Amino acid sequence: MPILTEPSIGHINDLADVISKTQFQPAWEKHNLETNPHWKIKIPDSILSSVLVLNHWLEARGYRWDSPEAKGITIKNLDLLAHVMRYHLTRTTGVVLLSGFDVAEFGESAGRLLLSQIGYALGSVLDKRGLLYDVCDRGQDYRQDNVLFSSTCTSPGYHTDSTDADLMPGIVALFCLRTAREGGVNRLANTLTAYQRLLKEQPEVLRRLCETFIRDKIVVDEIGTRSLSDRMRNSFPVFEYGRWYPGLTCRYMRYWIEAGHHKAELPLTDEDIFALDQFEAALNHEDSTYQLQLQPGDMIFLNNHLIVHDRTEYLDWEEPEKKRHLVRMWVGNNAFQRNAPKPDDMQLSHI
């Protein structure tokens, strides 16, 4: 049964009404991404050149990619790239893949600089665990308290980022530095497509997903046990509309829902488990899951309201310098508050 809390801003009452309101948001199945090449963008040479010059300028003066001096410099044409990316993230796919950055040739520091500068061009880069967070296996076990899945080689299952009721990143970006020996394949699914499927086939399941679930969350350096009221406050639905931005929002990671209910001593009911099972079945439908293997230098950007992501379990290299390593960035919802009309030059052919 749903947790009894006051209905929040964004609560969905009319399931069908959401469909008409979300016509501008991108819904897709696997074949749509496979046949649409436009969300895959090669970074223009002019932007790469400017980033390399800026990185050299910073390093020559003893600065880093995250110094205030770097944030205050505008890279020519980066706003045009951000405009095209924003349009894809909100109107066509909810996903953008950037390629063309050579980690071996240009270096990791220049890559971090480019990633952060793109973030600033899109919106506000959120400093939750640092502006950029290193995603790599630290030999930890996610079943222990305060351990993130991103510190393990285990598959987290389909999820959106952040289980904190007060923090919802608008965009999740991942920059690949190195790949694993085996596995670590990225999986994507569109939650608006899952919503549409459930509304048609299992509306009672969708209704439960629009009610609240308790979520556990990571609190760094937490001491003692959280109170029941604190745990209950971190409750929210899987689906909401209009709370964080003018559209449908999905917030999901099954493990943290199960852990949240377990720690609050309010176990999930059979109805709850059935609803979560059916949602995952919709996400994992053979027509829904799109898979790709990021290569070194690739940067993928996801609309965190619509796109759930996962990566398969992986086997890493023995040598530390070869181990799988990604860099994550969160961008705030102000990235979506700016108007995103279709750019005149979607192919960025003039820069």
312 located within any domain: yes
> Which segment of 148-152, 190-194, 212-216 scores lowest on mean pLDDT?
148-152
pLDDT at 2 > cutoff 80: no
What pLDDT does 271 receive? 98
User: When comparing pLDDT for 288 and 350, which is higher?
Assistant: 288
299 located within any domain: yes
**91-102 b/e (C-beta count within 10 Å ≥ 16 → b):** ebbbbbbbeebe
What pLDDT does 125 receive? 97
205 located within any domain: yes
pLDDT at 223 > cutoff 80: no
219 located within any domain: yes
User: When comparing pLDDT for 275 and 5, which is higher?
Assistant: 275
25 located within any domain: yes
pLDDT at 145 > cutoff 80: no
Question: Which ranges of 165-222 would DSSP assign to H, the alpha helix?
Answer: 191-201, 203-209
Q: Locate 304 and state its tokens.
A: 């965190």
80 located within any domain: no
Q: Tell me the mean pLDDT in the region 8-20.
A: 93
Q: Tell me the mean pLDDT in the region 230-245.
A: 94
Which pLDDT band, with edges at 50, 70 and 90, does 4 fall under? very low
What pLDDT does 26 receive? 95
* SS3 state of residue 64: coil
* SS3 state of residue 274: helix
Which pLDDT band, with edges at 50, 70 and 90, does 341 fall under? confident
The number of folded domains in the chain is 1
What pLDDT does 222 receive? 57
Q: What is the pLDDT of residues 156-179, one digit of tens each?
A: 999 999 999 999 999 999 999 999
Q: Tell me the mean pLDDT in the region 58-71.
A: 93
Instruction: Single out the residue of 315, 301, 314, 350 nearest to residue 93, CA to CA.
Output: 301
1 located within any domain: no
pTM greater than 0.75 (yes/no) = yes
Q: What percent of the chain has pLDDT over 70?
A: 95
Q: Tell me the mean pLDDT in the region 236-249.
A: 95
Average pLDDT, the chain: 93
Which pLDDT band, with edges at 50, 70 and 90, does 3 fall under? low
Name the CA dihedral angle for 87, 309, 173, 349, rounded to a multiple of 10 degrees: -40
Instruction: Single out the residue of 344, 333, 286, 253 nearest to residue 89, CA to CA.
Output: 333
The parent domain of residue 197 ranges over 17-35+133-332
Pairing state between β 235-237 and 212-214: antiparallel
Which CATH number belongs to the domain containing residue 171 in this structure? 3.60.130.10
| Rg of the chain, C-alpha, whole Å | 20
* SS3 state of residue 254: helix
Asked whether the beta carbons of 183 and 315 are under 8 A apart, the reply is: yes
Q: Locate 288 and state its tokens.
A: 């829904």
Strands (E) located in 15-141 = 40-42, 95-99, 133-135
Distances (CA, A) of 103 to 35, 41, 52, 100, 330: 28, 17, 12, 9, 21
Instruction: Single out the residue of 119, 110, 283 nearest to residue 192, CA to CA.
Output: 283
44 located within any domain: no
What pLDDT does 74 receive? 87
